[in-house]
Amino acid sequence: MSLYLLRRLGLAIVTLWGVVTFVFLLIHLIPGDPAESILGEGARPEEIAVLRKSLGLDLSLAHQYNRFWSNLARLELGASYRTGEPVVQSLRQSYPATLELTLSSMLLGILISFPLGALAARKVGDATDSVISSVSLLGISIPHFVLGPLLIIALAIQLPLLPVSGMETWAHLVLPTITLGTALAAVLVRMIRSSMINELSRPYILVAQAKGMSPRRVIYLHALKNALMPVVTILGLQFGGLLAGAIITETIFSWQGIGRLMIQSIQSRDYPVIQSCILGISVTYIMINLFTDLVYSLLDPRVRY
């Protein structure tokens, strides 16, 4: 088990290095000058040159790359070009908000998908299965940037039940959570249904039924446990999808998370903040996938070999 853990941890470190390096090169190669963005179009060339030197943008790309990693090794993320605040302070304010939104969306998706997926597998081929499958397909088809405004129109404007934007109270969390959680639930419902149907056709299910076990006990005690194998993998992958979806959702609902911070930083060419946001999202995604691999190995010891 320890060798398996070390191997997965090594792959996670290599993946993190690749992601951060790619993002660093990408944002530096895209046309645009942060100094011009900060000073405005009317700035004189000598003012831009002075600001570029103070920000270290006059150095070669290789030098900036080496300095970025040396600072990162000391856990220093630098300061924002736009505000001058330490990037760590900005992440400390925005990261918990994104984590709160992501975890609440995942919880909602799990609470919806597991009962509906198991019910669809039990009623395979009849009207209940058709309705659940059709609704889940509709949930997959509607993107976040469409569902979010629709929820605002329906539940915040037409029926003023919930606030449109912000994050002052728990009510502000409802609409963003529904926007992200329903899409996850739609994916999980179809995965759980398919996995459960496959498990219900196996011989050990027939043996359990022959022993006189109730259908509910057979499904939720035996079949569901073995059907979790592919679902655990999908949950780990979908967590990254939630983080990516949070970037759009946070912008729609003015949720002060890391996704909205990154969008604002991209618009102002704030390199340190962009790199740190990507780093935070990447570390979270990689750690969740590492945890998923460990859970997978516990559910099926054959994976370790």
Q: Please indicate, yes or no, whether residues 100 and 190 belong to a single structural domain of this protein.
A: yes
* Mean pLDDT to the nearest integer, 151-163: 88
Query: What pLDDT, on a 0 to 100 scale, did the predictor assign at position 183?
Result: 85
Q: What is the mean pLDDT of residues 152-175?
A: 86
Residue 212 to residues 43, 124, 200, 206, Cα–Cα distance (Å) = 82, 21, 15, 10
For 231, other C-beta atoms within 10 Å of its C-beta total 21
What are 114-141's pLDDT values in tens digits?
888 888 888 888 888 889 888 888 888 8
The sign of the CA dihedral 14, 17, 23, 25 is negative
49-57 long-range CB contacts below 8 Å, 24 or more apart? Answer: 55/81, 57/33
Assess whether 54 and 179 both reside in one domain.
no
**Residue 80 counted as domain residue:** no
pLDDT of residue 73: 79
Residue 146 lies in a domain: yes
| Same domain as 96, residue 65 | no
Report d(CA 72, CA 95) in Å as an integer: 18
> How sure is the predictor about 176, in pLDDT bands with cuts at 50, 70 and 90?
very high
Residue 5 clears pLDDT 80, i.e. is over it:
no
Q: In Å, how far from its chain's centre is CA 155? A: 25
- For residue 82, being part of any structural domain is answered with no
The answer to whether 200 and 219 have CB atoms below 8 angstroms apart is yes
Does 83 fall in a domain? no
Q: Do 164 and 118 lie in a common domain?
A: yes
Answer yes or no: is pLDDT of 4 > 70.
no
User: Is 56 within the bounds of a domain?
Assistant: yes
Pair 43, 102 in one domain: no
Domain-ending residue, one of 73, 108, 129: 73
CATH code, domain carrying 242: 1.10.3720.10
- How far, in Å, are 139, 142, 152, 176, 256 from residue 162 at the CA level? 21, 21, 8, 11, 18
104 and 41 assigned to the same domain: no
Query: 247 and 120 in one domain?
Result: yes
Mark whether 48 and 103 lie in a shared domain: no
Residue 250, CA distances (Å) to 183, 216, 259, 298 in order: 15, 40, 6, 35
Q: What is the pLDDT of residues 178-196, one digit of tens each?
A: 998 888 888 888 888 888 8
pLDDT of amino acid 88: 86
Does residue 150 sit in the same domain as residue 9? no
Q: Which two tokens stand for residue 169?
A: 């109270």
Q: How far apart are CA 181 and CA 192, in angstroms?
A: 16
- Give the other-Cβ count within 10 Å of 119's Cβ: 18
Above 60 in pLDDT, residue 305?
no
Residue 24 forms part of a structural domain: yes
Residue 62 domain-assigned (yes or no): yes
Overall number of domains in the chain? 2
Residues 6+ apart with CB under 8 A from 15: 282, 286
In this structure, the answer to whether residues 139 and 277 fall within a common structural domain is yes
Name the pTM for this structure.
0.79
For position 14, what pLDDT does the model report?
A: 85
- Is the domain of 238 the same as that of 133? yes
Indicate left, alpha or beta for 79 from its phi (over 0: left) and psi (-120 to 50: alpha).
beta
- Residue 32 and residue 136 share a domain: no
Question: Has residue 1 got a pLDDT over 60?
Answer: no
What are the pLDDT digits (tens) for 213-230? 777 777 777 777 777 777
Tokens in use for 203?
């011989």
DSSP tag of 303: G
Domain boundary among 26, 45, 73: 73
**Parent domain of 92:** 88-304
Q: What percent of the chain has pLDDT over 70?
A: 95
Does residue 78 lie within any of the structural domains? no
**Cβ of 155: how many Cβ atoms within 10 Å?**
17
Last residue in a domain, options 17, 38, 73: 73
